[in-house]
Structure 1
Amino acid sequence: MVTIDHFNLRSFDLNLLIAFDALMSEGNVTKAAKRLKIQQPAMSHSLSTLRALLQDDLFIRVGQVMQPTARARSLAVPVRQALRQAQLALSGGLDFDPAFEERTFRIAMSPEIELLLMPDLTARLRKLAPGIKLLARVFPYEAMEPSLEDGSIDLAVGCTYTKTSRRSFEPLYDSQFACCFNPALLNLPTPVSLDAYLAAEHATISQNETLQGCIKDALEIAGVELNVVMACPGYMSVLSAAQVSPVIATVPSRIARRYGTLLGLEVSPLPVSLSFPPVNMVWAQHADGDAANIWLRQQIRNIVASLEVAE
């Protein structure tokens, strides 16, 4: 257990940590001052004091943005975590009322979840919680756990997220894929046969250096090789490519039904069985009992349930 040096902490104005966190978030002195509802000279004074106390520039102006130094970056996570824990401790006894809450939920999402969840979650919150805003963020897998721990994100939803000793998770649904194509450009029967599927050119989603992207492992397990001629990180780009090109887009079934049909694409079951991990919802264990996080998780469950009913 680390002993708290109350004397030294007493001589340090802890409000400076709030100013530091605001500057890290906004990257601009004026915006940080506005966020804290103080005047710009007061924020500039806080920055000058921090620089003197920590003997580092902390933020260097590059154009209109204040870029954090290496020292500032090293402080960002522990400072955010300390402020987050203080906020949770102070608000722990208060009731969470979504109708009057004013805050921003930050959610890490895979591209599939972003398309399926964000429209309906936005509509739901506008009715139930008009003061709550949403910020969807794409996080590398290795950065997700520290971001959950320090409060940079409140929740993560995706197919690669799993349980560890410091985070909880809940399966939302099993991933299933379908294929989409423009019947005016590809004369294929529906459902698409295996021979036709293998003979066609393909568009897939990829967030790495491979053309096969997120379906690479599933294809290898199934012993199938596709002629992928286009890959990109967003599903709408993949579907749009299928709309104007004679290619087959292999995408999650829910994406195909919701967006493929809007683009005039024919939707067919995959003629080959591919295995994918389930979509999970993940949160830091210290947020297990946080009323706001509990409420947000329930809204996501409700939306997933409504999507299943619509199918």
Structure 2
Amino acid sequence: MESVFDYLLRAPLPGPLDSVPAAWDRHRLVAPRFAATVDVALAAGLGADRLGFAFLSGYQEALRALVPELPADELVAVCATEAGGAHPSAIATTLTERDGWTVDGTKSFATLGIMARRLLVIASIGAVDGRNRLRAALVDATRPEVTVMNLPATPFAPEIPHATVTFTGAPARVLPGDGYADYLKPFRTIEDVHVLAAALGWFVRVGREAEWPQWAMQRLLAAIALVRGLDIARPGSPGVHIAFGGAYEYFDQLRAELEPLWERADAVTRQRWERDRPLLATAGRVRALRLEAAWQSIAGAEAQGA
């Protein structure tokens, strides 16, 4: 199997994209070339002609890292956020067992919800001792018991749709494990890693098209090496969070160094970058909280061992 670094530097750059389905078709063409989901995100990011479509690839590969059994050819959406947020205590959507599991409730913000064929739903099976117990389930988005309503486009990456999703006794297949500890919580980290990988793949594309200097491409590949080295099989590890914090800090510094080189990119690419760059900051506050908690965990372990 070829090196993803060689692929990023040598693979022919495909032409422009005009829709999510076209971006997904291109993603599926490159996906079989690499075994690791992070490498697929990198390669698919190279094939994207804008940051939003790179995000699409990172998001889909993150889901497959979380739930490897997901079909390779289906767009999937996470349905977790509700009117009160995505904290476990705010999830009122229910999973009920009546001759099979069914889902009832409304999710207020599902990325790609309007286009997804399958939905990964986080729902409650009831509370015990005041704790809302969550499970994860897969739901066929085409079922009549599922109603999807598109939301207005966001100011950045407007090509990526978001939707509200309402379930009314929708048949579901419950996944093993705890909905929060095994799915919702680790997905936040897994998604961050894969989206960053896809964004870096797209940066390499921009650099190749705009003929950025060798030092810029070399540093981009160094950032990619940092991301590939993260142990995403253990997304709850404090050390992984700390390492990812360092990798993201390096990426932020590199972005600042690359800023003058954007003048070499074509006007459409520059305009899209200025519009879409807030996408990379959307989870910044949550990332910072996770990093702080990771350092506190390490400090607590050291204190106990003293």
Point out the structure with the larger helix share. Answer: 2
Between structure 1 and structure 2, the one with the greater Rg is 1
Note whether the superposition's TM-score is higher than 0.5.
no
